[in-house]
Amino acid sequence: MIRLAPSVSRGIGRVTEAALGPHQSAVIRIGFSVTWLLFLLREFPHRQELYGPDGPWSRPLAQQLISDNGAFTALMWFGGRFWFETVYALAVLVSLLLALGWRTRTMSVLFMVGVLSLQNRSVFVGDGGDNVLHLMSIYLVFTRCGQVWSLDARRAARVRAARARGERMPDRAGPVLWGVLGLFLAAVTAAGRLEGEWFVPALLWTVWLGQALWWAVGRWARSAQPRLLLDVVADVVHNGALFVIMAEACLIYATAGWYKIQGSRWQDGTAVHYPLHLDYFSPWPALAGLLSASGTLVMIVTYGTVLVQVAFPFALFNRRVKNVLLAAMMAEHAVIAVVLGLPFFSLAMIATDAVFLPTSFLRRLGRWASRARARLSRSGGRAPAGDPRAPEDTEPAHVGFPA
C-alpha cells in the first residue's frame, strides 16, 4: 500500500475537497461579463459595421477565413439581419445575467458562445483586451464562479433555510432552461451547422450532458456517494481552471516584459513618450502632453512598466511584494484607460489581475458593499433584504443544476 507524505495528502485534500478562490472567481466573473457588456452597449450603434452584414469584412470573407482556421461562431449558422440582431441581443442579456450570477454554469457557456461568435466573425476588430477576453471566456466555463456574490448563492441559501424547516424548493427554471437549450443544440447539430474545431462543440455537449447527470444524481441517487464524486470532479476542474487563469496572467506579463526589454526605445527609457503623441491614442491631448512634458516622468514610467511586468511572476512567492506590484499594475491599467483611451483593454486586464487579490481584502469589500446596501435600504424606507452580514462568507449548498 502506497503511503503519501502528509504535505502531499493535505495538498490533494485541499484541491479535491473544495472549490478554491470563490471570491476571486466571482470577481473574475463579474469583471469580464461587465467588460463585455459595456463594450457591446458602447458599440451598439455600430454593431452592423463591426460584426454584422454591413461591415467591410463581408460574410463571404468571414466564411472563407472560418473554413480555413476552423474558428467557432454562431453567426455563421444562419444568414440575415434578424439572426445577427438575435445573437447580439442575447450576448448583451447573457453578459448581464452572468454578472448578476443567475444560473452561472449555463450563462458562462452562453457567454463564451457570444464572445467567440462576435470576435471570430470579424477577427480584425479589437485589441489585446479582446484576446484576453477570448481566452478567459473559455476558462470561465470550467469554474464554479457563482459560489459567492451571485443570485445562485442567494437561491442556495433559501434552499438551505427551507430544508432546515423541513420544506422543499424544487428547481423548475433549471430543467426548463436545460431542455430548451438542448433542443436547440440538437437541432443545430442535426442540421450540420455546428462546424469548426472539435473543442467548442464537444464542450457544449459535455456541459449539457453534465448538467443532466448532476440533476439526475441529485434527484434519484439513494446515497450521497455519487453526488460527492461529482462534487470532487467539479472542484478539481474548477481549481485547475483557476490555476490556468493565474498561469495565463503570468505568461501575459512575462512575455510582455521580456519583449519590451529587447526594444531599443524601452532600453533608453523613451517608449512611453510615443503613444502619448499618437492621435489614435490621445483622447485627452492636453493630459497626454502634460504627462510627456517631463522626461524624468516618462523614463520612470517606462522603466517601471518593464520592471513590474518582468518581476510580477516571481513576486508571487512573496505575498507582500505581490500585493504591491498588483496594486501598481491595476493603477497602470487605470491610467492607460484614461490617458490612451483603451478602457476595455484595461478592464479586461484588471479583471485578470483580480485572480491574485487577497481573500481578506475581497471579504472586507463584500462587507462594505453589504453595509452600504443596508444603509441605502434603510434610507429608502425599506427593511434590508436579509442579514447585513456578508452572506458570501458561507459556501452555498449545491442545489439543482450546478453553479
List Cα–Cα distances, 153 to 146, 147, 185, 343, 403, in angstroms.
Answer: 7, 6, 28, 30, 8
pLDDT value for 197: 77
Does residue 157 have a pLDDT over 80? Answer: yes
Task: Output the nine-digit C-alpha cell for 32.
Answer: 469580464
Among 52-61, 96-105, 169-178, 388-397, name the one with the lowest average pLDDT: 388-397
Which of 118, 120, 115, 116 minimizes the C-alpha distance to 68? 120
Which residues have a Cβ under 8 Å from the Cβ of 207 and sit 6 or more positions away? 105, 109, 141
Among 56-65, 222-231, 371-380, name the one with the lowest average pLDDT: 371-380
Amino acid at 394: T
pLDDT tens column, 73-122: 999 998 889 999 999 999 999 999 999 999 999 999 999 999 999 999 99
Does residue 3 have a pLDDT over 70? Answer: no
pLDDT value for 392: 44
How far is residue 314's CA from residue 298's CA, in Å, rounded to a whole number?
A: 25
Q: Is the pTM of this model over 0.85?
A: yes
For range 159-181, the mean pLDDT: 88
Does residue 214 have a pLDDT over 50? Answer: yes
pLDDT value for 18: 85
Does residue 396 have a pLDDT over 50? Answer: no
Does residue 403 have a pLDDT over 80? Answer: no
Main-chain phi, psi angles of 225, to 5 degrees:
-65, -45
- Mean per-residue pLDDT of the chain: 88
Which residues have a Cβ under 8 Å from the Cβ of 281 and sit 6 or more positions away? 275, 340, 341, 342
Does residue 388 have a pLDDT over 60? Answer: no
How far is residue 83's CA from residue 174's CA, in Å, rounded to a whole number?
A: 25
For range 39-62, the mean pLDDT: 92
Give the DSSP per-residue string, 86-126. HHHHHHHHHHHHHHHTSSHHHHHHHHHHHHHHHHHHSTTS-
320: pLDDT confidence band, cut at 50, 70 and 90?
A: very high
To the nearest whole percent, how much of the chain has pLDDT over 90?
65
| Buried/exposed 35-67: b ≥16 CB within 10 Å, e otherwise | bbbebbeebeeebeebbbeebebebeebeebbe
Does residue 309 have a pLDDT over 70? Answer: yes
Does residue 394 have a pLDDT over 50? Answer: no
Number of residues assigned to the chain: 403
2: pLDDT confidence band, cut at 50, 70 and 90?
A: low
Higher pLDDT, 336 or 9: 336
Q: What count of other Cβ atoms lies within 10 Å of the Cβ of residue 82? A: 9
168: pLDDT confidence band, cut at 50, 70 and 90?
A: confident
223: pLDDT confidence band, cut at 50, 70 and 90?
A: confident
pLDDT value for 382: 55
Which residues have a Cβ under 8 Å from the Cβ of 175 and sit 6 or more positions away? 215, 401
Q: How far apart are the first and last CA of the chain?
A: 37
Higher pLDDT, 234 or 384: 234
Residue 71's SS3 state is coil
Among 39-48, 52-61, 381-390, name the one with the lowest average pLDDT: 381-390
List Cα–Cα distances, 337 to 103, 129, 147, 395, in angstroms.
Answer: 31, 11, 30, 35
pLDDT value for 154: 93
